[in-house]
Structure formats: structure tokens, C-alpha cells
Amino acid sequence: MEGKQIASRNESWFATPLQAGSVPVNARVLIDGPSELVFDYAIPAGLDVRAGCRVRIPLRRKSATGTVLSTGEPEQADFALRELESLIDPEPLITPVLLRTAEWIANYYGSSIESVIRSVLPEGVRSEENSAKTRRVAVLDSSPDSAVLVKLEKRAPRQFAILSLLSHAPDLRLPVADLGEGNAAALKAMEKAGLLRLEAEEVRRDPDGDQVEEILESKPLSLNLGQTAALEVVLAAIAEPKAHKPILLLGVTGSGKTEVYLQAAQCALNLGKTVLVLVPEISLTPQTVRRFKSRFASMQDQVAVLHSNLSQGERFDEWHRIRKGIARIVIGARSAVFAPLPDLGLILVDEEHENTYKQENVPRYHGRDVAVLRAAFEPCAIVLGSATPSLESWNNTLTEKYQLLRLNERADGASMPLVRVVDMRLEQAKHKGAPAILSDKLRTALEQRLEKGEQSILFLNRRGFARSLQCNACGHVCQCPHCAVALTYHRTDERLVCHVCGHQSIVPRKCPECRDPGILLQGYGTQKVEEIMTKVFPSAKFARIDADAMRRKNALRDTLAAFKAHKIDILIGTQMIAKGLHFPNVTLVGILNADLGLHVPDFRAGERTFQLITQVAGRAGRGELEGEVIVQTFTPHSPSIQYARKHDFDGFSEQEMEFRREYSFPPYAHCAVLTSRSTHERRAEFTLQTLHLRLAENLPNGITLGEVLPSPLIRSHGQFRFQITLRSHQARPLTRHVQAVLSKTPLPEDVIVVFDMDALNFS
């Protein structure tokens, strides 16, 4: 027989460790694959199997691979367990802390253990098809004798040339490929004669291998009083992590949070510890890597990068460098929270408020929250940094779960930028109802900056040329055939593009419905802004940063480098330029449409708008020159805009928290979403209605169950979507109740049901 499959989803997959002195005789193995099979196998004598090891096991009549979740004494059974075949790797690839973290994620977010292990142990590491890259090198044990060289020069000129090259090479070794073609026979003869050795040398596939920019060493900067006080608390937490809570570092934009990070990391490294740095987006990873490599110039090879854009080979090499302790600083996006760092001393979560820390696919974990959990399990110090903290983290400081540190002034003594709000209703009236993209005030300010030789940034969180294509006669709007959204017009490609599923179609010359030629573009995006700006300011130099313009590898890095070198006067971009950028010569930031994210069906809309405006505004005035921010809006009296204008996080959080408390929204309750989707609209709705009835039965106290409603985006990727919102003051009872109902409810084959605990996306 196969062994005993673990059937219950609710029982722990991780057995209690054996008592000291006892010998484990069986292993609980998670089989690789999508089926989430967990079997018990006997451990052969002499095989050192521990939790986290990768093993090869017999499965039916084939051999399969899996991950050991735990080891322990066998339970009573009427059959003998089959034995493990072998170890794939002699050492566990998953540490006990990461195994414990995986169990927590599976239970808290209601995810399968297989999906969590896939995140902890990525495909590039788990697959046996990947391995270290090697190359052959020729090595001399010592410099050749002159007599030998003279002899070879006459009798074997090719061998003489090889020895000459090797004798002048660093460490007396060179890759065989660098010795030229046609030398195989000569090298073999020289190896046989004992003149040199041929070895296999491991080659690192460096994610920054094509980096042409030289990284110059930077020295620690002098800290102001606020930074010094904050650093002292962080250093104390690194020295005694068990005695300190997670730290929320609230610092205004330009307050020097990064310098605190760097000096804290130096302390952790000096203590023999390792450092994990999380950034919210892959686009922010290169500049963070440069800052750390610049500060730790003597140990650049000890900085590793982890994110989803790495190739399988790069991920394999980086992951194993981390596991072996070669890399002591790891920088990456949310998946880097599972980096197998030994002796972890400090976790830094930059821009902790960002939604991108939430995983959109199974398992739907939140990188920031998992980082806090891992810091408790290690234990190690953790710092969450932001100029606009999430209200969840802010509430944790109010309830004293986190320790609050504040940096209220900019590090270089510069003042916060002056923020002006422009009412676009008045601008539109000036233009007799025509849509205005640039207000008179913003246009004048741009002219003044160009005259002074200063730089400007224009922010619009919408890519493309026009929001939609609409018939002026019948009102028809070109829609995506797979999603309930209008197609966006992209002029550079002359295509209509869906920003949800990526569908593309040609631009019609006439209305598809009534055949009227009067089809018009509605709204505007970054492409249109760029076109208008080149007409208004023909002598200025522009660059656009969005997902369309930055398709080429390293395009973002090169564009930002050109902007820093003042080869670009005005930078136009989406949220890719909203945070983390430091350009001292930028004195003007224009936010073209601050209302884009304000009027959406999401209780977090106001919070996100406040955060985005504050972050974008923080790009101005970061040097000796004063900064100015012009916010264009049709709702100038919105609290989000007014509090952002004053740089008043406390005022905004106070009124927003009152609203959340009144209606029991996060952070005062956990909010989860249960979504059904199918190509058949009625079937998706009926399935969720059935689940709603079963969820309502024996509903635990404290859980609020919403009604079955169409998702705000009713159709996406060809599937109709319906959702139920659930709220509870405790997360675990909610997850257990939903998972219990799902496990007992058979679903139609063409209906997919997804549970998202602590949901951030309600569309």
C-alpha cells in the first residue's frame, strides 16, 4: 500500500518534535504536484531525514519527489509503511522557522499546504531540472619553471601560449573558454603531464551581471536628533529582539528612513547576523540594491536579490547563496520574505503600506504580516517604514502591539513642499466645458522651472492615450469581449488594449454599432500627456515611465539614470514614479488627476488616495531648492486631498479611523471575500448562493455575513464573478468556518471559488 494519506484539512501537518533521544522512524511527506497529497513513509536505517528535506519516494509504480513536513513515531496501522527511496539533498532546504511559518499561512489564510510550500520553496529550487552552472577552468599550482617554458616554446608552441596566459592570470587560473578554441588536445596533454589541472568551477548567474554603471562607495551620513533616537531603538531591538515589539518607523518623505535602515543593517552584520530587506515592487529593487551595495561596497558579493522576474537559473543561484550563508543581505519583493537566511537579525519592510505586499494568487498572504510573524518566530528585530502607514499598522501602535518611532523633519533640514490644490471644475469652465489636462497654474509653474533649469515630475495613474473610444452618435463604447471594461486606446501601438486581461484589437474607423464615422476619444492617459507636453514645451526634454514604455530590460533603470543626470527636464509617469525616488533638482510635482482612485467602491479608497498624493508630493523639494506640488482635482474638498495638502497624517487617520470604527471595517475587524467565478453567469451566482445558505447555518458568533452580490468588475478574463464579504473581530474562526463549508460542498467543474482573508482588492 502507499502509506496513510492525511485526510483532514484542519489537523496540523507538522507533528510535534520527538523527545530527545528518540529515533524518528517515519516521515510525513508532501508529494510534489497540484493534488496536495500527504503520505507517511518509513525512514530506512542510516538515512538522516529531517523536516524540510527533499526526498524521493515510491508512489504507486513510479518514483516521485516530495518535501518532508515532519518526522515522528508511526501511528498504529494494519499495514507496513513503504520506505523512502533516497534524499535529494542531504540538508533540509526549509528551515524549522519557515516550516512553522508555512503552517501558520495555511491555517490563517485557508490555503492548501502545497501552495504555501510552493511559495517557500520556489520552482527554480524545487525542480531537479535546475542545477548550478559550471565551467571548466585551467589551474596552475605554481608559476612554471623558465626552463620548461623555453622547452615548450620550441616543441609545443600552443602549450607554451597556454602556460604564458595562465602564469599572468589572477590566482593562476583561467576559464578554458578564454584560452581560445582548438586547445582541447593541448590541455589534455598538459593535464596528463602534470603541467596544469582542469577543474569544474561554479559560475554565478548574477541578476545584475549586465550592470554597466559603476557603484561608488558611500559613507554613513550624520544623523539628526530624530534619526539618532530612532536608530538607538532599532539597535536595541537587534541586540535583544525578544524584549522588543515590531517597530513602525513613521517618517515624512525625505526624512532619512533609508539611512536609518543602512546603519541598522551595518549593526546587524557586525553582530554576525543577516539582513532581509523587503520592497513593495520589483521596480524599486534595483535602486535599493544600489544603495546597499554602495554602502557595503566591500561586500557587494554578499548582497542577493529575490523577485519573480529572475530567471530560473538566477533564482536557483541566489537562493542557494542565501541558504549557504554566502549572501548576508537579501533584497526583494514580497516572496523574499521566505528567503532561507541563517541567523536572521533584522527585517526591514520599506513602504509597508503598499497593497503590492498582498499576494493576488494562492496562497493570498500579506508579505508585511508574514514578515512580522517570521520576526517573532526567529526571533529578530523588524522595522516597518512608511511616510503614510497603513491604518492596520497605525492601529497596532495605538494598541501598543507595535512601537512607534517618528521622523517629523526632512533629514537635510529642507522644508516640506508647498501643496496647492487646483479646482478643475473652474478650469473646465474657462475652456467652455472642454476637458483641461494642464491647468493654467501648472503650465505657468512648468515654464518657470524650465527657465531656471530645474526638473519637474507629472503624475497620472493611467497609461495609454485615451480612456475609451465612444461613438458620438449612438453612445457605443468599445468594450473588451472578455471583461466588463472599456478598451483603452494606445496610440504608439495603434491598438485598443484591455488593462485587465491584455486583449488587443484594431482601432475601428467607424462605430461598430451604427457605422457613424464620428467616433471620439474620451479621457486621457500618459501617452496623451506626453504628446501635449511636447507641443506646449517643444524645447524641453521628456521621458515617460509606465508599463508600456518600460518593456525593455533595464529601461526603467536607464531612464531614471538619465533623469538623475539632468538629461531629462520633465518626467511623466504612473505610480512607478510615486515612491522611493530621490532627485534633489526636482522642485515641481504635478498630479494631473487626483480623483482617479477616489470614487471606487472600496472603503480604502480615501486611504489610498491620501497615501498616493503624499508619496508623489514627497518627490519635490528634496534638495536645497524649495519644492512645490500642484494637485488637480474635481473634488478639492475631499478629506483625503485636504489632509494630504497639509501633510497631516494624524488628522487624516483620526477621521478615517472613526469611519472604520463606526462600520466595523479594518483595522477594527478582519474582512474576507469569498468569490465565485465561471464562464456561466447563472452557475457562478447559484453556486455562491448555495454557499451563502450553508455559511449562514450555525454561523459562529461575531461573524457578519454579507449578501451575494456581483463583483464591482462583474466580468474578467471571460468569467462572471460574484462575491460575499465576511467580517469578524477574530480571523481564525472565520477561516475555519468558511473552510469547513467549502470542504463539504461539491462545486460544479466549471465554477472556481476563491477565499481571500484580509482582502485588499474588492473588484
Give the pLDDT confidence of 383-407 residue by residue, as tens digits: 999 999 999 999 999 999 999 999 9
Specify burial of residue 75 (Cβ count, 10 A radius: 0-12, 13-18, 19+).
exposed
Answer yes or no: is pLDDT of 13 > 50: no
Q: Could you tell me the fold of the domain covering 418-465+524-659?
A: Rossmann fold (3.40.50)
Contact predicate 641/687, CB 8 Å: no
Contact predicate 135/176, CB 8 Å: yes
Question: CB within 8 A of 238, min separation 6: which ones?
Answer: 264, 267, 268, 271, 273, 345, 346, 380, 381
% residues pLDDT > 90 (the chain): 65
Across 194-200, average pLDDT: 88
Answer yes or no: is pLDDT of 519 > 90: no
Across 371-382, average pLDDT: 97
Specify burial of residue 459 (Cβ count, 10 A radius: 0-12, 13-18, 19+).
buried
Q: Give whole-number Cα distances, 219 to 213, 262, 414, 626, in Å.
A: 19, 10, 21, 26
Answer yes or no: is pLDDT of 711 > 80: yes
Query: What residue spans in the chain does CATH classification 3.30.70.600 cover?
Result: 670-756
Across 35-41, average pLDDT: 85
Range with lowest mean pLDDT among 75-89, 270-284, 352-366 = 75-89
| H or E element that contains 72 | strand 62-72
> Predicted confidence band at 433 (pLDDT cuts at 50, 70, 90)?
low
Query: What residue spans in the chain does CATH classification 3.40.1440.60 cover?
Result: 26-126
Phi, psi of 600, rounded to the nearest 5 degrees: -115, 155
| Per-residue pLDDT, 41 | 93
Average pLDDT in the chain:
90
> Predicted confidence band at 78 (pLDDT cuts at 50, 70, 90)?
low
Between 359 and 309, name the one with better pLDDT: 359
> Predicted confidence band at 434 (pLDDT cuts at 50, 70, 90)?
low
The dihedral built from the CA positions of residue 409, 411, 413 and 414, taken in this order, carries a sign that is negative
Contact predicate 677/754, CB 8 Å: yes
Distance CA 202, CA 1 (A): 42
Across 244-261, average pLDDT: 95
Answer yes or no: is pLDDT of 568 > 80: yes
Q: Which CATH architecture has domain 225-407?
A: 3-Layer(aba) Sandwich (3.40)
Across 561-566, average pLDDT: 91
CA angle 205, 206, 212 (to 5 degrees): 135
Answer yes or no: is pLDDT of 137 > 70: yes
Query: What residue spans in the chain does CATH classification 3.40.50.300 cover?
Result: 225-407, 418-465+524-659
Q: Tell me which residue of 279, 384, 264, 385 sits closest to 332, measured CA to CA.
A: 279
Segment 475-499, tens digit of pLDDT: 999 999 999 999 999 998 899 999 9
| Per-residue pLDDT, 203 | 85
> Predicted confidence band at 76 (pLDDT cuts at 50, 70, 90)?
low
CATH code for the domain defined by 670-756:
3.30.70.600
Contact predicate 661/395, CB 8 Å: no
Range with lowest mean pLDDT among 89-98, 203-212, 247-256, 361-370 = 203-212
Answer yes or no: is pLDDT of 7 > 70: no
Segment 716-739, tens digit of pLDDT: 999 999 999 999 999 999 999 999
> Predicted confidence band at 4 (pLDDT cuts at 50, 70, 90)?
very low
Between 519 and 506, name the one with better pLDDT: 506
Contact predicate 354/284, CB 8 Å: no
| Per-residue pLDDT, 476 | 92
Across 682-687, average pLDDT: 97
Answer yes or no: is pLDDT of 19 > 60: no
Q: Give domain 26-126's CATH number out of 3.40.190.10, 3.40.1440.60, 3.40.50.150, 3.50.50.60.
A: 3.40.1440.60
Q: Tell me which residue of 690, 587, 678 sits closest to 630, measured CA to CA.
A: 587
Answer yes or no: is pLDDT of 15 > 60: no
pTM comes to 0.90
| 570-573/542-545 β-pairing | parallel
| Per-residue pLDDT, 430 | 80
> Predicted confidence band at 24 (pLDDT cuts at 50, 70, 90)?
low
Across 579-604, average pLDDT: 90
> Predicted confidence band at 18 (pLDDT cuts at 50, 70, 90)?
very low
| Per-residue pLDDT, 5 | 39
Most confident of 332-341, 465-474, 575-584: 332-341
| Per-residue pLDDT, 21 | 44
